[in-house]
């Protein structure tokens, strides 16, 4: 059997990955951020998940405007770090869990979600930076990973409601999984990544809205059924053009129970030119 033991909402700012890769965590600019996320590292070490389902968006590494799946799930045994124009990050190859991934794909498709099944896929900072924030710099990632990629690059992205519904379907799928010959249950953590408020281009480039970010986190925890109805227009207006990535956090929230306990929260402005958020939830 498998069970979801926690949910993580995390920004995936590429500059954070570069700071880790270049060992800048103690530098004055970066130390306040890394101090804030230390409790998350302690939590994930205590939980020691077998599998992390990481919901993220690709940044033209595995997909391009030639092929734009709304939801894509990686079912391979491993996923190499992508070359994002300056060489792949020097992080471990991401090890998949094909058995769980294929079960998820089957269950989600039969639950009427049109998933794109991907057998070969490099993974970029959208997935690897949250792993680095929580797991540090191991020789191997201490868990297997099921990548679930969401289109938030090319309009129209899915709504927060659709992402929340997908998370609920993921919970049903995980709970119906049988681990075959394994003699122990699988513990699963679901990551929703992206955001928080930021805009990378145009007249509002550099926009951050810390008040919106905190309101989003409050609503995510306490009132997801209404918060998931926020429109794309509101995200863009309040959180910037890339703030719409926050819809992916609702996949994580949907995978959790209605009532959750907030284990920790961190919010930091700025990391690079973006707002950065991190939240951990457990089922009540």
Q: Which of 260, 249, 232, 250 is nearest to 130 (CA)?
A: 249
Task: Give the span between the Cα atoms of 277 and 213, in whole angstroms.
Answer: 8
Query: Could you tell me if 106 and 143 are in contact, meaning their C-beta atoms sit under 8 angstroms apart?
Result: no
Residue 151 in contact with residue 252, Cβ under 8 Å?
A: no
Taking the C-alpha atoms of residue 29 and residue 252, their distance in angstroms, rounded to an integer, is: 30
- The three-class DSSP label of residue 231 is coil
Beta strands in 70-169 (DSSP E): 71-74, 78-79, 94-95, 116-118, 144-150
Residues 127, 193: contact at Cβ < 8 Å?
A: yes
Closest of 119, 130, 123, 126 to residue 74, by C-alpha: 119
**Residue 164 bears catalytic tag:** no
Residue 83, strand partner residues: 88
The two structure tokens encoding residue 101: 């991934």
Residue 12 designated active-site: no
Is-contact 56 247, C-beta < 8 A?
no
**Please, are residues 193 and 56 in contact by the beta-carbon 8 Å criterion?**
yes
Residue 66: CB atoms within 10 Å: 5
Please tell me which residue in 198, 232, 267, 268 is annotated as part of the active site.
198
Q: Phi, psi (5° rounding) for residue 113?
A: -105, 130
Of the listed 97, 125, 164, 268, which one is catalytic? 125
| Cβ neighbours of 119 (radius 10 Å) | 9
Name the residues annotated as catalytic: 125, 198
């Amino acid at each position: 059997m498998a069970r979801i033991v926690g949910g993580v909402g995390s920004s995936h700012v590429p500059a954070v990955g570069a700071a880790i890769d270049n060992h800048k965590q103690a530098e004055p600019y970066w130390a306040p951020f890394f101090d804030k996320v230390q409790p998350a590292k302690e939590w994930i070490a205590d939980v020691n998940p077998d599998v992390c389902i990481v919901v993220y968006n690709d940044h033209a590494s595995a997909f391009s405007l030639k092929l734009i799946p709304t939801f894509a799930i990686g079912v391979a045994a491993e996923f190499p770090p992508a070359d994002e124009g300056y060489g792949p990050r020097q992080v471990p190859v991401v090890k998949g869990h094909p058995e769980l991934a294929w079960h998820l794909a089957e269950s989600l498709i039969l639950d009427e979600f049109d998933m794109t099944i991907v057998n070969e896929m490099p993974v970029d900072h959208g997935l690897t930076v949250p792993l680095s924030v929580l797991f540090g710099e191991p020789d191997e990632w201490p868990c297997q990973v099921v990548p679930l990629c969401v289109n938030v690059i090319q309009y129209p992205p899915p709504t927060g409601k659709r992402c929340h519904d997908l998370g609920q379907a993921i919970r049903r799928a995980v709970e119906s999984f049988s681990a075959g010959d394994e003699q122990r249950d699988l513990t699963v953590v679901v990551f929703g990544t992206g955001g928080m408020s930021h805009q990378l281009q145009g007249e509002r480039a550099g926009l951050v809205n810390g008040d919106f970010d905190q309101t989003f986190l409050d609503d995510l925890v306490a009132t997801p059924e209404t918060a998931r109805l926020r429109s794309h227009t509101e995200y863009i207006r309040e959180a910037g053009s890339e703030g719409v990535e926050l819809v992916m956090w609702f996949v994580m929230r949907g995978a959790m129970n209605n009532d959750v306990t907030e284990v920790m929260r961190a919010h930091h402005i700025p990391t690079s030119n973006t707002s950065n958020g991190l939240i951990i939830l457990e089922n009540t």
